[in-house]
Amino acid sequence: MCGIVGYLGNKEAYPILIKGLKRLEYRGYDSAGIALLNKNGELNVYKKKGKVSELEAFAKGKDITGTMGIGHTRWATHGEPNDVNSHPHYSQSKNLVMIHNGIIENYASLKEGLTKRGHTFMSQTDTEVLIHLIEDIRQHENMKLGHAVMVALNQVIGAYAIVIMDKNDPDTLFAAKKGSPMVIGIGKDEYFIASDASPIVEYTKNVVYLEDEQIAIVRRGEELKIRTIKDKEITPYIHELEMELEAIEKGGYDHFMLKEIYEQPRSVFDSMRGRLNSETGHLKMGGIEEYETKFSNARRILIVACGTSWHAGLVAEYLFEEYARIPVEVEYASEFRYRNPVIYPEDIVIAISQSGETADTLAAIELAKSKGATIFGVCNVVGSSIARATHAGSYTHAGPEIGVASTKAFTAQVTVLTLMALHVAKVKGTIAESRYRQLLYEIEAIPQKIEEVLKQNELIKKIASTYQHASNALYLGRGYSFPVALEGALKLKEISYIHAEGYPAAEMKHGPIALIDEEMPVFVIATKGANYEKVVSNIQEVKARKGKIIAVVTAGDHDVKGMSDHVIEIPETDETLVPLVSVIPWQLLSYHIAVMRGCNVDQPRNLAKSVTVE
């Protein structure tokens, strides 16, 4: 949460920083701020509550010159979102300014000490405390700024990605990180610093991912230097970015979310590309091969994740149990990390995360690692913290997901997890060859089937207009469709602010049925499969109480049509693969309802794309 960006070079920094902040706005949009050092050595800081566009309007007509600068877009933790709490923050003398992503957990005790030494604070933030501390150490220990940063960071408990600018040094930026991501782009005579590569990709493909407890010294006309906070020199490892600029632009769509929904035939294909060959029956899961025996002998699999990734984990539970006959437990990472769970060294832990930066998932991984379990990651963002913290893993290759509501990441995660479960089943011999082969064919056909569902966008939009004013909604599904019910409800609530709940259809009669009246839309997945008749009975129970039924059905099903207010047909597929197709109508429905209600689809209130705080 929070996006940070920095520039040092021979171009004007302001346009680069503003563009970068707009790309990082998905990480938080409570306020935005910028600091620039002009050629006269004046430090100009502009900050404003609200979005980057409000900062831009505020900075209009002011001095925005300078070839070195830093910028920040905030998701508030300490202190309400207002102008004062916005970053950058000054040190006591106002000679230093800093931006920060993360949380300084021991800020209160540090602040107390500094206050006793005469420091006064303008904001309620933990960030301001850290920059005061750095300056205090620098002055009292008579140190160079780089060393003062090092000493201060050794006193800090918590997470940080920081960039510091010194009014009296127009040629240097200091950047450091622990727990929060940071990428440094190396151009010709210029450097870029950012929370992810999106603000950098159009200027250079050469990047260095800073590791935890490292400090980068970015100096005009010099090579990048990196030291650890224990003062050990590190040789920077330069990666080549694979990301393309088009992947992070809207490409003609009104919103990133809609673009990402429509990208799914391609992103699902990409997540299986090079891994699956239905002709030869070959399934190659790079990350898993080395751990095949471990997977086969695993006493159980633990899945840790949050939000939509947790829903993908639930689908995986069904898949691994059905195909590979391994017991699976799916855990909210936030609960798992704090409840002294029983973890065996033979356990396999699968951590699922789009961003690869979710703090709770990272902490759950560290806990499981400390107990000797083998950790496998399913991440979308290449080089992310979770991808690096795991023993092995498979990337989902969905491409950058910018809309806060996760869509294509979910289908890519489920695709990769399906391939993993099938691969393990084949190795273990728990699946018949004919069934295995049939499933490979079915999986290959999924992108085309998603394409078919997307063609029903106009119908789904019409249904959305009927229910756009609803105050509540219920999502039902059984078996493989239960996680999709949860995911449908999450999509609706997070972007349209309609209260929605997902339930296993049969659980409805144990409570939620009391909510049903003529005002209540009930979104049901009633595709053909083992539970079909039972779901039909659940639909009847809703109709008997005058609830409205919007059903996702298998193409050609007339029975459910007869008892529903609206139906959306999806192509038939294997029951175990239905989530990959049935989630699409719920994504489109939430999107249209949110647009009709005038909500900010890509940046819903109070949310951020990467939840790097617990």
Least distance from C-beta 378 to ligand M6R, angstroms?
9
Q: Give CA–CA dist 525/561, Å, rounded.
A: 12
**Contact of 491 with 586, CB cutoff 8 Å:** yes
Nearer to ligand M6R, 35 or 404 (CB): 404
Least distance from C-beta 28 to ligand M6R, angstroms?
13
Give first-to-last CA distance, the chain, whole Å.
11
Catalytic residue among 426, 449, 548, 609: 609
Sole binder of ligand M6R in the list 125, 406, 418, 564 (CB under 6 A): 406
User: Cα–Cα–Cα angle for 11, 215, 169, nearest 5°?
Assistant: 45
Name the 3-class secondary structure at 166.
Answer: strand
User: Is 599 among the residues known to form the active site?
Assistant: no
Catalytic residue among 2, 306, 379, 599: 2
Amino acid type, 514: A
Please choose, from the candidates 322, 328, 330, 341, the residue with its C-alpha nearest in 3D space to the C-alpha of residue 299.
328
Q: Give CA–CA dist 27/612, Å, rounded.
A: 9
Please choose, from the candidates 517, 521, 524, 516, the residue with its C-alpha nearest in 3D space to the C-alpha of residue 498.
521
Please choose, from the candidates 312, 485, 334, 490, the residue with its C-alpha nearest in 3D space to the C-alpha of residue 396.
312
Q: Which stretch binds ligand M6R (CB under 6 A): 73-81, 306-314, 319-327, 514-522?
A: 306-314
Burial class (CB in 10 A: 0-12, 13-18, 19+), 431: buried
- Residue 390 contacts ligand M6R per CB under 6 A: no
Nearer to ligand M6R, 43 or 386 (CB): 386
Sole binder of ligand M6R in the list 348, 404, 516, 578 (CB under 6 A): 404
User: Is 426 among the residues known to form the active site?
Assistant: no
Sole binder of ligand M6R in the list 67, 73, 198, 361 (CB under 6 A): 361
Q: How many helices (H) and strands (E) does the chain have?
A: 21, 27
Q: Which stretch binds ligand M6R (CB under 6 A): 350-358, 420-428, 449-457, 513-521?
A: 350-358
Q: Give CA–CA dist 297/63, Å, rounded.
A: 65
Q: Give CA–CA dist 149/134, Å, rounded.
A: 6
- The 152-191 site mask, x for binding ligand M6R (CB under 6 A), equals ----------------------------------------
Residues 474-493 that bind ligand M6R (CB under 6 A): 490
Length in residues, the chain: 614
- Residue 394 contacts ligand M6R per CB under 6 A: no
- Residue 309 contacts ligand M6R per CB under 6 A: yes
Residues 588-607 that bind ligand M6R (CB under 6 A): 607
Nearer to ligand M6R, 378 or 463 (CB): 378
What Rg value do the Cα atoms of the chain yield, rounded? 26
- Residue 307 contacts ligand M6R per CB under 6 A: yes
Sole binder of ligand M6R in the list 73, 267, 358, 554 (CB under 6 A): 358
The residues that are catalytic are 2, 609
Where do contacts with ligand M6R occur on this chain (CB under 6 A)? 306-309, 353-355, 358, 361, 404-406, 490, 494, 607, 610-611
